[in-house]
Structure formats: C-alpha cells, structure tokens
Amino acid sequence: MLQVKNLTFAYQKTPVLQAINLTINPGENTAIIGESGSGKSTLLKLLYGKYDLNKGHIFWNDTEILGPKHNLIVGYDFMKYVAQEFELMPFITVEENIGKHLSNFFPEEKKERIDELLTVVDLTAFAKTKVKLLSGGQKQRVALARALAETPEILLLDEPFSHIDNFQKQDLRRNVFNYLKEKNIACVVATHDKEDVLGFADQIFVLNNESIAAQGKPEMLYKEPKSALVAAFFGEFNILNKTFIYANQLKIVNKSDLKVTVKKSYFKGSYFLIESLLEGQTIMFEHHAELAKNDVVYLEISK
Ligand SMILES: Nc1ncnc2c1ncn2[C@@H]1O[C@H](COP(=O)(O)OP(=O)(O)OP(=O)(O)O)[C@@H](O)[C@H]1O
C-alpha cells in the first residue's frame, strides 16, 4: 500500500504541493488530474523519490520513499516510473531496451518475458528495430514495456498515452490497464485525458491550488462534480440553478422554462454539440441533428 502523509513540496521558493494525503492499495488504478501546472508530474516525481520533500512522508508498505539526500541512486526496485520524456537507449533495439534490466541467467525466460511485453504494447513487429528509428508513439510503447519488464508492485505513469494516435490508443490503453490488473500492479496515472480514467481508474484525485480539491470514484465525481474544474474534465457543461449540467443531460422538448436560441451547431460524429443562448448565458447541449442558427427550442434536464 502507498501512503502519502502530509506531503509538502516547493521548487526553491515556488510552493507546488501542500499537505497532501493519499492512500493507494495494491493493484489499484489511481488517476491524478488537474490543470496544467497543478503539480501532477511533480507529485509523481516525489512518489518516485526524485526530490526531497519539504515536509511529510511517503511509504510503500514499510519502506519509506526517500529523496536524493538519502539515496545515491533514485528509485526502488518495487516501483517504476515512466516520465513524459522516455529516457530510452537510442542505439539498441526495442527488445534490448525492454530486456535491459532482466537477468541473462535464464535466456529462454527472458525471451518469453520480452515477447509477452511486446504483445502487450503491440510492438512485436519492431522487436529488432533500433529505438532511434521509432516514432514518438512507438518510443512511448517501449518505455511502458520496459517499466513492466521486472513486474513492479507500483507503476507511475505520466501522460502514458499522449504520443499514441487515437487509432491505436484505445487498444493499447485496454491492454496495459488490463495487464496491470491481471498482475495486481498498482498504478498512478497523471493525465489530462478522461479516456485514461473512465472505465479504468478505481479512484481519482483532483489537484488544484496546491492541494487535493476532490477525490473519489470516477462515477461519483462524474455524477456530482463539486467544481467547474471537475465537470470540465468530463465534458462540456453548463451551470443551471447553481448545478453543473453536462451538455448531454439537456434534451429538446415541446415546451419548458428553458427557452434557448441556437447560435451554432458543431458536428461531433454521433451527435451535434449545439451552442445556444438563454437570456445572454451560453448553453451547450447535444442533439442528434444539426440545428439552424436562430432556431428557438425548449430544453429539459434529463439526468
Ligand atoms: N524543475 C522545476 N523547477 C522549478 N519549477 C518547476 C519545475 N518543474 C515544474 N515546476 C513548476 O511546478 C509547477 C507544477 O508543475 P508540474 O509539471 O508538476 O505540473 P503538471 O500538473 O504536471 O503540468 P502539465 O499537466 O502541464 O504536465 C508549475 O508551476 C511548474 O512551472
């Protein structure tokens, strides 16, 4: 179990995180979300022991995670960290990178392990390719596989799928997160992307103003976002009667008190996002068809 107690940290004079407390159980998938600059990457680096805390403690079971003041070499065997910049060895192949820290004592087991991980990240065809010849997304896959090679107990992932194109992202995400669950590997994922969270995270921590502004299961935060920051993470929203209402929770009816005038329709694939005005306030809602500018329609909230 990872336990963070009263963690406080500043870069020189810039405070980034104040009195953070959190607990992550073995095998649990935890998402850290928050605006750019809210300290997500910094928190992951602190969990990894990259910097010394100003105050507080971090424990993985009975081992205290300590920073460079106490450790010559950053990091612990039970924990792996995949940074935004992947720090791979460019002049050796994909399989050599993945197997870099695996023992050569049992070459067959080593090969099987590498093959298994190549399958998880769908890079089997590139096993013998030198890393310097890969695209950004392919390098990100190698970094993920390398972090999994020694089966850590906890994996720290900073925007793990940011370089992967949408075409391949869905599959890779499912493969990696299912693999982590199968092996009971806990993970902490810093992300901007709700797709990394919904359907995968067991819990979410929202960072804002140097602290944890909200925490809970994805369903709970989605259904009852207590702030615009949380609502915005999940999608387009409106504030009606001081309540956050997602664009997909408004539907057109014959008559209601919510009479809006259409301004613009945006094609979104399976629906249109409609921008409209309600007495000067912009209201966003979803509709199956395009609506014409200046159409007047009535809306109802359907949660
Ligand atoms: N090495 C550093 N030295 C000084 N300040 C830093 C350093 N790294 C980050 N910061 C500052 O700390 C704050 C938090 O940065 P951090 O990268 O942790 O945010 P983030 O939430 O991960 O952002 P993003 O989503 O854009 O990656 C920012 O104000 C940033 O400018």
Residues 158 and 97 in one domain: yes
Same domain, 271 and 123: no
Same domain, 177 and 259: no
Q: Which residue's CA is the nearest one to ligand 1's atom 3?
A: 11
Based on the fold, state whether residues 123 and 20 are members of the same structural domain.
yes
294 in the same domain as 187: no
> Is 12 in the same domain as 140?
yes
Strand, coil or helix: 234: helix
Give the number of the atom of ligand 1 that is nearest the alpha carbon of residue 159.
Answer: 27
Q: Which pLDDT belongs to residue 87?
A: 84
Shared domain check, 248 and 123: no
Above 0.90 for ipTM, yes or no? yes
Cα distances (Å, whole numbers) of residue 97 to 119, 128, 203: 15, 10, 32
Average pLDDT by consecutive 10-residue portion of the chain (303 residues)? 97 93 97 95 96 97 95 90 88 95 90 95 96 93 93 95 88 94 97 93 96 96 93 94 94 96 97 96 97 97 87
Q: Which atom of ligand 1 is nearest to the CA of 43?
A: 18
Question: Domain containing 272 — which CATH number?
Answer: 2.40.50.140
- What is the helix (H) or strand (E) element at residue 245, kind and residue range? strand 243-246
Ligand 1 geometric centre to CA of 42 (Å)? 6
What is the reported pLDDT for 14? 87
- Dist. CA 19 → ligand 1 center (Å): 17
User: What pLDDT does residue 291 have?
Assistant: 97
Question: Which residue has a Cα nearest atom 8 of ligand 1?
Answer: 42
Alpha-carbon separation of residue 262 from 18, 153, 274, 291 (angstroms) = 44, 52, 7, 7
For 253, the domain range is: 236-301
- The confidence score (pLDDT) of residue 228 equals 93
Q: How far is CA 107 from CA 148, 149, 158, 163, 192, in A?
A: 18, 14, 31, 32, 40
The answer on 203 and 266 residing in a single domain is no
On whether the CB atoms of residues 115 and 108 are closer than 8 A, the answer is no
Rounded to two decimals, what is the model's pTM?
0.91
In a shared domain, residues 64 and 204: yes
Nearest CA to ligand 1 atom 13: 37
- The verdict on 142 and 61 lying in the same domain is yes
CA of 39 to the centre of ligand 1 (A): 6
State in Å: Cα 52 to ligand 1 middle: 16
Atom of ligand 1 nearest to the CA of 192: 25
CA of 38 to the centre of ligand 1 (A): 7
**Residues with beta carbon inside 6 Å of ligand 1?**
11, 14, 16, 34, 36-42, 190
Name the residue with the closest Cα to ligand 1, atom 2. 11
Look at residues 191, 211, 228 and tell me which one is the last residue of a structural domain: 228
Query: Candidates 35, 38, 47: which one to mutate for ligand 1, based on the most atoms within 8 Å of Cβ?
Result: 38
How many angstroms is it from 191 CA to the middle of ligand 1?
14
Q: Do 271 and 286 contact (CB within 8 A), yes or no?
A: yes
Q: For residue 120, what is the domain's CATH number?
A: 3.40.50.300
| Among candidate residues 228, 260, 287, the one where a domain is terminated | 228
pLDDT at residue 86, as a whole number: 79
Of 188, 206, 228, which residue sits at a domain end? 228
| 278/259 Cα distance (integer angstroms) | 6
What local confidence, expressed as pLDDT, does residue 110 receive?
Answer: 94
Give the position, in ligand 1's atom list, of the atom nearest the Cα of 190: 22
Shared domain check, 241 and 163: no
Looking at residue 165, its pLDDT comes to 86
For the CA of 34, the nearest atom of ligand 1: 21
If one counts the domains in the chain, the total is 2
Which residue, by CA, sits nearest to atom 16 of ligand 1? Answer: 39
One domain, residues 221 and 256: no
The answer to whether the CB of 248 falls within 8 A of the CB of 228 is: no
